[in-house]
Amino acid sequence: MTSVNVPPPVAHPGGMILFVCTGNVCRSPYLELVLRNHLAQRHITSIAVRSAGTEALLHQPVAPPMAAILEQAGITTDTFRSRQLERQMVRSADLILTAERSHRSVVARLHPPALSRIFTLRQAARLLQFAPLDAPFVPEENAVSRLARLIASGRGLNQPSAGDGDDVMDPWQQSASTYRAVEGMLKEPLAVLANALAAQRTAPSFVAGD
């Protein structure tokens, strides 16, 4: 049986980013849909963006308060349906970004070889401040896998963890103001990520996709 919300297999020469939260109805859908919008505005079509939940509320739409926030920004949520995180998703992703540190541990247990490319979103944005974005490319490296490598390199130049500061709280079944607060915690680091991806335009993988 084909899973809901699984796009048909297509080539993504720029690589794949996977966002992970708990239910895949609040935080990770926001990240997926907003990053797709950022990339579309920059005419970047070579990068795939997906999301999933460690304890997903299967085949559900975006939570109404988060859907309202997205729709106010002009981003439609009509076709989104939540998915459960699976090992194959982790194996296929070139960069995995989670809402909380606890999610990072779950992802790593599913596929330990992926550990070096798993970060919380806020951790990744913080480490990117120290990453050498003009570093040379490695042969066969796509834009997203290169970015994952650069984020990892920042661990040696900055504090690898900011503790609770690397987590974004779960707004599920909370007030509209809580959802707005969560958006505020996601928006800035996501913009940092989008800008860093746009800076990868010299990657050979971008030539094929744009």
| Cα 61 from Cα 79, distance rounded (Å) | 8
Set 21, 83, 104, 149: catalytic member: 21
| Cα 181 from Cα 177, distance rounded (Å) | 6
Estimate the crossing angle of helix 121-128 against helix 143-153, to 10 degrees: 80
Set 26, 27, 50, 83: catalytic member: 27
| Cα 25 from Cα 21, distance rounded (Å) | 9
Identify the CA nearest to 92 among candidates 78, 74, 72, 110: 110
Strand partners, 35: none
Structure tokens at 55: 């304890």
The helix (H) or strand (E) run that includes residue 85 is none
Residue 18 burial class via C-beta count within 10 angstroms: exposed 0-12, middle 13-18, buried 19 and up? buried
Annotation marks residue 87 as catalytic: no
For the beta carbon of residue 72, count every other beta carbon within 10 angstroms.
Answer: 8
Annotation marks residue 91 as catalytic: no
Enumerate the active-site residues: 21, 27
